[in-house]
Amino acid sequence: MKENNVLFSSSKTSPDLEGITIRALRIVVSLLAAAAAVSLCYMMVQKKLEPGDVSIPEPEILYTGEDFVMDTFVTQKVSAENGEELIHSVNELLHEIEAEWSAYRDGSVPAKINARAGVSPVEITAEQYEIIRDVYDFSVYTEGRFDLTVSPLVKLWNITSGEAKVPSADKISHALSYVGLENITLDDEAKSVYLDRPGVELDFGGSLKGYAVEQALEFYQQSGAEGAMISIGGSVAVTGKKPGEDGEKTDFRIGLRDPLGSASDYYGVLTTADKVICSSGAYERYFEEDGVVYHHILDPMTGYPAESDLLSITVISEDGLLCDCLSTWLYMGGLSLVKDHLNESDYSIIAVDGTKKVWLSDDLTGVFTLRDGSGYQLAE
Amino acid sequence: MKDFLKKHWWEPLLLLAAAVLCFLWMRGSFARPGDIARITLSGSVVMEVPLDKSGVYSLKEDPSIRFEIKNGAAAFVDADCPDKICENEGFLSKDGQTAVCLPRRVSLTIVTAGESDEPDMITR
């Protein structure tokens, strides 16, 4: 032992220092030994699983389902005795909505209207017309900042392709010449839509997911589900409650994605029901070129990705179509627009600014909580 | 003896604290029985792997899709899709965490046994 002590002592070390060194070493060794002992015990106590021995204790009648629709990932959680059946039916419903409204599907409403651009008006059903009218009216309300004819610009940038490049200014200018609400003529009597020249196109990408989750929500409610939740990309809808411990029903909890983190990180939790929740932010889809990030929310006023002082925005509303349009528009308008609309009667807002401050509508106090240690803080 | 106890009374407490911390660390670092990574392809569950079965796995249906289980967490690896968003998600271990490869229509979701404090869904 004495020899060992010598090994850890220099010739200049005082007897006191030597004692401290030995004590420190003893503590470190003890800690390591304790750590090893506890680790060993924990591993021994753990039950070893064999292949095929997977048992996932599902909470009582809470079913989950996943699918890919509208070029994105769909998740459902349904609390109902026929939950699996409902999930399957909602997946079918979503595929039907995509077939009806995706501009990239032959025979869809926008595809038919786009194909007759500059040729003739296209008559559609009263229900379809109402949807287009709503999105058009919203576009007019935003003075074209949200524009349902933005498609030529979206196709030019092609940000979701994985091989996107920044287009030339000439090409952007050319695409912009086909964008504008003045190119659309709606006929309320005939329920028809006319685009005034070839090359002008309708695209409901900015509103379709919100509409789809609202349709799913109505389906769950009409089917008698006790609770359900659906997520399609940045759009979520939730109704009723989920089964909790001891048969008690509890609220669904929606994590709001941390715009500076990965897709699994969240900065806060929202607890709500019978609402649609739509989020927008530059983090969703983007590409980098020469060190610059180009995201997918294109500003029809400039032809380039919107420059916003917000990191993300979440809108909560009963109207899914409006919710999706609002989140895109408010993101483009930035914090000043958010402040102007923070306390509206038909929707609520959670916005994150560039300094990680969270702006909240008054009616969300008590249903939204920041995650501990997230680094975000509520704005005063 | 009294002097010794007086001088060293804090050492057992330190050991106890270290043991507790160590236990908490172990719980966080390794999978509990029943924790799995659930892999879906085009919406159908094609594989469920316990999170305590470390290794690199590939899908029978598409061997180019590979994921790794390590230290009670799972991640896509060697993704050959252009954006690599799925791989960039890194290792996931908490209930409900999901990584998605849109081009290949594959998802990896962590499902843990028992109650979880994690949200039911995270907006994307």
pLDDT given for residue A118 in this prediction? 96
- Residues 19-58, chain B: which have Cβ within 8 Å of A? 19, 22-23, 26-27, 30, 32-34, 36, 40, 42-43, 48, 50, 52-53
User: CA-CA distance, A141 to A322, in Å (whole number)?
Assistant: 12
Nearest residue on chain B to A160, alpha-carbon basis: B83
User: CA-CA distance, A174 to A169, in Å (whole number)?
Assistant: 9
Superfamily assignment of A252-380 in CATH? Answer: ApbE-like domains (3.10.520.10)
Nearest residue on chain B to A77, alpha-carbon basis: B120
Using DSSP bridges, classify how beta strands A377-378 and A357-360 pair: parallel, antiparallel or unpaired.
parallel
Domain ranges of chain A: 2-45, 103-195, 252-380
Mean pLDDT in chain B? Answer: 81
More confident residue, B70 or B5: B70
User: CA-CA distance, A310 to A379, in Å (whole number)?
Assistant: 13
pLDDT given for residue A19 in this prediction? 66
Q: Give the pLDDT confidence of A276-327 residue by residue, as tens digits.
A: 999 999 887 888 888 888 888 999 999 999 999 999 999 999 999 999 999 9
Distances (CA, A) of A140 to A71, A72, A145, A149: 28, 28, 9, 12
- From chain B, the residues in CB contact with A29 under 8 A are none
Interface touch A269/B119, C-beta < 8 Å: yes
Q: Please give the helix or strand (H or E) that residue B35 lies within, else none.
A: none
B124 lies within 8 A of chain A by CB: yes
- Residues 66-85, chain B: which have Cβ within 8 Å of A? 81-83, 85
pLDDT given for residue A68 in this prediction? 85
CB crowding A282-307: b at 16 or more within 10 Å, else e: bbbbbbeeeeeebbbbbbbeebebbe
Q: Give the pLDDT confidence of A143-201 residue by residue, as tens digits.
A: 999 999 999 999 999 887 777 889 999 999 999 999 999 999 999 999 999 999 999 99
Interface touch A68/B42, C-beta < 8 Å: yes
A332 CB-near residues (< 8 Å, 6+ apart) = A145, A146, A297, A299, A306, A308
B18 lies within 8 A of chain A by CB: yes
pLDDT given for residue A15 in this prediction? 54
pLDDT given for residue A286 in this prediction? 80
pLDDT given for residue B31 in this prediction? 60
pLDDT given for residue A35 in this prediction? 65
Q: Give the pLDDT confidence of A270-282 residue by residue, as tens digits.
A: 999 999 999 999 8
Interface touch B89/A262, C-beta < 8 Å: yes
ipTM given for this complex: 0.76
Question: For the ranges A95-99, A118-122, B101-105, which has the lowest average pLDDT?
Answer: B101-105
More confident residue, B121 or B85: B121
More confident residue, A214 or B7: A214
pLDDT given for residue A197 in this prediction? 95
Determine the residue among A75, A235, A277 to mutate to test chain B binding: the one whose Cβ has the most chain B Cβ atoms within 10 Å: A75
- A-B CB pairs within 8 A amount to 141
- From chain B, the residues in CB contact with A65 under 8 A are 43
B89 CB-near residues (< 8 Å, 6+ apart) = A262, A263, A264, B75, B76, B99
More confident residue, B32 or A73: A73
Name the residue among B32, B89, B124 with its Cβ closest to that of A233: B124
Minimal CA separation from A67 to chain B, in Å: 4
pLDDT band at A88 (very low <50, low <70, confident <90, very high): very high
Name the residue among A66, A72, A284 with its Cβ closest to that of B40: A66
Interface touch A54/B36, C-beta < 8 Å: yes
What sign has the CA pseudo-torsion A106, A109, A112, A113? Answer: negative
- From chain B, the residues in CB contact with A284 under 8 A are 124
Q: Is the pLDDT of residue B22 over 70?
A: no
Nearest residue on chain A to B89, alpha-carbon basis: A262
pLDDT given for residue A47 in this prediction? 41
Q: Give the pLDDT confidence of A125-146 residue by residue, as tens digits.
A: 999 999 999 999 999 999 999 9
Question: For the ranges A208-212, A322-326, A367-371, B25-29, which has the lowest average pLDDT?
Answer: B25-29
Q: Give the pLDDT confidence of A34-85 residue by residue, as tens digits.
A: 666 665 555 554 444 444 444 444 444 678 888 888 888 899 999 998 999 9
3-state DSSP of chain A: CHHHHHHCCCCCCCHHHHHHHHHHHHHHHHHHHHHHHHHHHHHHHCCCCCCCCCCCCCCCCEEEEEEEECCEEEEEEEECCCHHHHHHHHHHHHHHHHHHHCCCCCCCHHHHHHHCCCCCCEECCHHHHHHHHHHHHHHHHCCCCCCCCCHHHHHHHCHHHCCCCCCCHHHHHHHHCCCCHHHEEEECCCCEEEECCCCCCCCCCCCHHHHHHHHHHHHHHHCCCCEEEEEECCEEEEEEEEECHHHCEEECEEEEECCCCCCCCEEEEEECCCEEEEEEECCCCEEEECCEEEECCECCCCCCECCCCEEEEEEEECCHHHHHHHHHHHHHHHHHHHHHCCECCCCEEEEEECCCEEEECHHHECCEEECCCCCCEECC
Q: Give the pLDDT confidence of A13-48 residue by residue, as tens digits.
A: 455 656 666 676 776 666 676 666 665 555 554 444
pLDDT given for residue A48 in this prediction? 43
* Average pLDDT estimate for A266-272: 95
pLDDT given for residue A117 in this prediction? 97
- From chain A, the residues in CB contact with B34 under 8 A are 49, 54-57
Residue A82 tokens, joined:
């026929």
Nearest residue on chain A to B100, alpha-carbon basis: A73
More confident residue, A71 or A106: A106
Q: Give the pLDDT confidence of A344-376 residue by residue, as tens digits.
A: 999 999 999 999 999 999 999 999 999 999 999
pTM, rounded to two decimals: 0.78
Interface touch B122/A264, C-beta < 8 Å: yes
Determine the residue among A20, A40, A55, A68 to mutate to test chain B binding: the one whose Cβ has the most chain B Cβ atoms within 10 Å: A68
**Are the C-beta atoms of A293 and A306 separated by less than 8 Å?**
no
A72 lies within 8 A of chain B by CB: yes
From A65, A209, A359, A265, select the one nearest B122 (Cα to Cα). A265
pLDDT given for residue B8 in this prediction? 73
Could you tell me the fold of the domain covering A103-195? T-fold (1.10.3980)
pLDDT given for residue A333 in this prediction? 96
Q: Is the pLDDT of residue B40 over 60?
A: yes
Strands (E), chain B: 36-41, 44-50, 55-58, 66-70, 73-77, 98-101, 106-111, 121-122
- From chain B, the residues in CB contact with A51 under 8 A are 53
